[in-house]
Each structure stands twice: as C-alpha cells, then as structure tokens.
Structure 1
C-alpha cells in the first residue's frame, strides 16, 4: 500500500500548488477586500477562524495518532489495529498533505505576523522535510540501479540499503525535530488564539 514514486511526485506537485496562495496572499487579500468586503470580514472573523482552526487541530491529532501507531512500542504495540505498517505510513503521508490543505483554508494563504509567521514556516518545514524524504527514499527503492556511486574519500560503493539509511538519517531526523518544534508552537498558538 506504500504510494509509488509517481503518486508521491503527484503529491509533491499538489503540495507546491497548495503553497502558491501563501506567496500571492498580499495581492488577493487587497482585491477581495475591495471587491467583497462582507466576505472578507467573514473569512477574517472569529467564527471562520475557530471552525477551521478546530478542523486543523483534528488533522494534527490524526497525524499524531498515526505516528504513535507507526512508531509505538510497549502498550500501543499490544493494541491490535488493522492494517500493515505501510498502510499506516501511507495514511500519514496523505493526511499530511491534507493537513496542508486545511491549513490553507484556515489561514487563507495569509503568512501571518511575528509568531504566526514563524509558526507557519515551521509547519512548511515539517511538511516538506517529510515529503522530500519519502519521495527520495521511494525513488531509490524503485530504481533499477543496484549501486549509486562511491563515497568520496573511502571508495565505498553505495548500494540501496546504505543510501536509504543515510537519507533517512537526514530527512527523518530533521522531520522529527520540526515536528517537536511545531507541537510546542501549536500549544502557544492555541493559547494565543484564546488569550487575544
């Protein structure tokens, strides 16, 4: 059930398309404000932000549960859940791209100011480190090549196994770091949303 390289490339292109509004938000917010002030007020209002914020939080909780299922040991491993680890990994990948879409709906592509801007960029780093890593790893796995060159200086031939372990050491470590920072910032974001 692991998504193939072509599906992952498609998800990467979808992710790029979902990121475009964040680059163009300054232009279309001014246009929206001048063309339909009532709609602009609604999507910038409390009800819209709260409902889409809760939907976003639901996706974050789903992502965390999928992670616990994928990586859980001890008590979580004793709970028998249907599906293979590849199924849960695939769900995690698709839900991550879905989370990006829900964040776009929640923010409307606005980059935010100060804390929210940094929070958004940490979220982008979290999403992109995972997606780029999974695409690279799947590309190596599906490749017909048996070796991928030599390590500089040592002359050791890189085969699929060592190359994937090296890739995973970089992308998975950085993804987990950004997830940790994201979770801490999410708690502050929720507290700030209710405080202000």
Structure 2
C-alpha cells in the first residue's frame, strides 16, 4: 500500500499550501488582531495552545510508531505490532502531512521568536527531507526507464535498485538526524511552554 507518485505529488502540493500561511502570517495576523480581538486572544490563549499542542504531540507519537514497527524485531524485548512495513510507511507519510496541518493550527502560521523560530524551521527541514526522499524514490520506482544516467542519453547508466540505494544513503540519514534534533527540541519546547506559563 505504498502511495503512488501522483499521490505524493498531490501531498507535496498540499504541504506547499499548508506552508504558505507561514510566509504571509504577518499580514493576516495583524488583520486578525485588529478586526477580531476576542478570536485572536482565544487563539493565543492557554487552552487553545494546549489543545492543539497535545494534538500535535499525539501526531508526533504516531509518527514515531513507524520506527518502533521497523526496529521492534531487533530489540531485546520482541514487540509485535500488526501491519506491513509498507502500511506503516504510508501511514507515516499521511500522518506527517496531517502533523504539518496541526502545526499550522497550533502556531496560526506565526514563525515564532528565538527558540520557537528555530524549532519551527527544524520541523520544516524534517518535512522537506522526508518529502524529497520519498517522492524521488517513488518517482524512480514508477518510472518506465530501467537505467538512469547524469547525461540523460540512451547509454547504460545506473539501475533503479542502485539509484534508490544511493538516494536512500543520503536522504534517510539526513532525515533521521533532523528527526533526532527535532525530538530534542520538542522536549525543550514543551519544557519552555510550561516553564514560562
């Protein structure tokens, strides 16, 4: 149940649409503040931030289940989680796009200041690394070409399997590193949110 290339392109466009408010938030947040003070105060209030924050945390935990599913057989304690790796990878992709939507709702598109700004940009890097990797891999898999070369000529180049392994050797460690930094920053974000309450 791996998403098709066309589905991944559509999800990429959805991600671009979800990221657009972050680019123009200064315009609409000022307008919201001026025209609807009560709504703006509610959306900046503690209840709203906690509800959307815990929803985002739930999405992050679901995302981390993929790692649990993939590595559970090699751990000392054998954890049996039903479903195929392809199912969990697909779920990981769709929940990741959902997480991007939840982050937009949580932040209202505001880029934040100081730590929160860096944390948000780290999240964007995690999302971008995942999208680039999975879209490129799926594009190669679904391509009718058997060999790929830099020159683009008909001469024999690299086969699909080799190309995917080489791409995965770059994007997957990058994604895992960024996820690790994001996870540490998430702990810091939660601590700061409750420390400065």
Query: Do the structures match in fold with TM over 0.5?
Result: yes
What's the counterpart of residue 87 of structure 1? 87
CA distance in 2, matches of 1:143, 1:156: 16
What's the counterpart of residue 47 of structure 2? 47
CA distance in 2, matches of 1:20, 1:165: 33
Is structure 2 residue 135 aligned with structure 1 residue 140? Answer: no
Query: What is the RMSD of the two structures over their aligned residues, measured on CA atoms?
Result: 1.7
What's the counterpart of residue 5 of structure 1? 5
Counterpart contact for 1:70–1:89, Cα < 8 Å: no
CA distance in 2, matches of 1:44, 1:31: 15
Between 172-181 and 79-88, the greater mean CA deviation after superposition: 79-88
Q: TM-score, normalised by structure 2?
A: 0.93
Change (3 A) 1:76 1:128: farther
What's the counterpart of residue 31 of structure 1? 31
Q: TM-score, normalised by structure 1?
A: 0.94
Q: Structure 1 residue runs of 4+, over 6 Å off?
A: none
Once the two structures are superposed, what CA deviation does each residue of 1:89-132 show, in whole Å capped at 9, x if it has no partner?
10011111111011111001000001000000000000110011
SS at match of 1:144: coil
Which 5+ residue runs of structure 2 have no aligned equivalent? none
Counting matched residue pairs gives 193
Output aligned runs, 1:17-166, within 5 Å. Answer: 17-75=17-75, 78-149=78-149, 157-166=157-166
